[in-house]
Amino acid sequence: MTHEHAPPVIVFDGVCLLCSRWVRFLLKHDHAAHYHFAAMQSDSGRKLLLAHGLDPQSPLSFLLVEDGRGYTDSEAIARVLRGLDRRRWHWLSRAMLLVPRGLRDPAYRFVARHRYRIFGQSRQCFVPTPEQRARFMP
């Protein structure tokens, strides 16, 4: 499978409650099933993070891999929102990108660094339903 035909993959922290809510949001709003997912704790998630120069142990690691290219931080969030099939999410993506990256990324990293304390942590990774399982990489 070439990169051009591979679906975009979101690598997320499977034990982070905020990250799990983000994945649930995307599963609900990505009606075209455009995005696939890999927990950073999985073999495929770790491999993708390493392949794009990210530390699989880092709480700051959030990665969107699209067309073979990796996107992180607020740019990854904005690109994911833009990829959803509702105009309101496109608008939010554009609004985010109006904020200079020098402000967006530090705010993203602050939340990422403190997400367990603010939102909580699960003892196990997010578990997809049988219907959702095909969108998750092992």
Which 3 state secondary structure label does DSSP give 52?
coil
Residue 40: inside a domain: yes
Indicate whether 4 belongs to any domain. no
Weakest mean pLDDT among 67-71, 81-85, 120-124 = 120-124
Task: Give the tokens for residue 115.
Answer: 């997400």
The three-class DSSP label of residue 69 is strand
Distance CA 46, CA 39 (A): 8
pLDDT in tens, 93-115: 999 999 999 999 999 889 988 88
Residue range 1-21, pLDDT digits in tens: 444 578 999 999 988 888 989
Report if residue 136 sits inside a domain: no
| pTM of structure | 0.86
Structurally, the chain folds into a number of domains equal to 1
Note the pLDDT tens digit of each residue in 113-128. 888 888 888 877 778 8
Cα separation, 129 vs 101, in Å, equals: 36
Q: How far apart are CA 126 and CA 110, in angstroms?
A: 23
Residue 57 lies in a domain: yes
